[in-house]
Copies of this chain bind each other. A is one copy, B any other.
């Protein structure tokens, strides 16, 4: 009797050892009500003795068509996601929906190699997917759509774009970025600022050379979030009678303090110097505050700085910003996916409320 040292014991082998059918062993583990308590005990004892690890979840999943996990794919991959508190909050929200349902959360790995990035989505062993914040033309989303699994999209692309991609009716959760952005910009304009500047994160997935971008480029952003926030700022500016073309808009790569600092430097070097900075995220704003400090500009005396998100760090920085219910967004997305999986009616795309939070980083211009 050759003994493979490492091949795990199978259900069949337990069945043979006990002298019952495989199905009965299966039932002993998965449907205790289907056999007598005595036999079940005998089976479990034998299973223990043989070192049977329990029904292989992979095989069971194949047969059942369910694996008890939902996937989350994030534009920038895991390393970045864990560095950004807002991304973490979103994950926390999804988890808070998945956990009570007994569902695992599979974080889909990213990659700098486009093919591997897509393969990770194609190969994810999950019952459904949450795709968070990808560009309008990102093949990642296409890869998620072809899988034909229940799908929920967070933030971007927008519902109209999802329909165009052949996935109409896909549940979507986000906020009205344009209106929210207009609200912060309006706040600064109301304070009397007339020389605004913007520090933005990426407009496209592909790496770019950071720098100032004109209105045409702004409107061409494939990141709908970027596009809409910029549009919101512009709406407010126009409403206040400002010439948007005169507002310097810097755009860099990721949403990090480093990019924010570089961006602030860039726009503060324009003449006349802006009196207020609109940053597309709190992390960018954090960098902008550092730049201001380094340049010896007092905030808000010499320079007002506003962010976006209301990240956990914002209160500590005294940052004026827009609160998005990030965690709730994740929860809603996770719940929507679970609803789809349970064949419950899928919720319609919905924007969660965002609200202006005024703190100490903004004030009237000097």
Known: A58-B61, A91-B82. A107 touches B104 (CB 8 A): yes
* A37 CB–B CB distance under 8 Å: no
**Chain B residues whose C-beta falls within 8 Å of the C-beta of A68 in the assembled complex:** 120, 123, 125
Q: Which of A18-26, A49-57, A290-298, A300-308 contacts B (4 or more CB under 8 A)?
A: A49-57
A104 touching B88, Cβ below 8 Å: no
Contact B110 A99 (CB under 8 A): yes
- Residue contact A51 to B148, C-beta cutoff 8 Å: yes
Chain A interface: which size bin?
A: 35 or more
Hey, which chain B residues are within 8 Å of A102, CB to CB?
A: 109, 111, 116, 119-120
Q: How far is the CA of A61 from the CA of B125 in the complex (A)?
A: 9
Q: How far is the CA of A111 from the CA of B122 in the complex (A)?
A: 29
A220 interface contact, C-beta 8 A? no
Is the C-beta of A139 less than 8 angstroms from some C-beta in chain B? no
Number of copies: 2
Which chain B residues border A56 with CB–CB below 8 Å?
62
Q: Is the CB of A106 within 8 A of B104?
A: yes
- Whether B125 lies near A125 (C-beta < 8 A) is yes
Is A79 interfacial (CB 8 A cutoff)?
yes
- A43-84: which have CB < 8 Å to B? 51, 53-54, 56-62, 67-69, 71, 77-79, 81-83
A8 contacts the other chain (CB 8 A): yes
Q: Evaluate contact between B79 and A95: CB separation under 8 angstroms.
A: yes
Nearest first, the 7 closest Cβ-Cβ pairs linking A and B are A82-B92, A78-B95, A105-B107, A99-B109, A57-B123, A78-B99, A53-B148
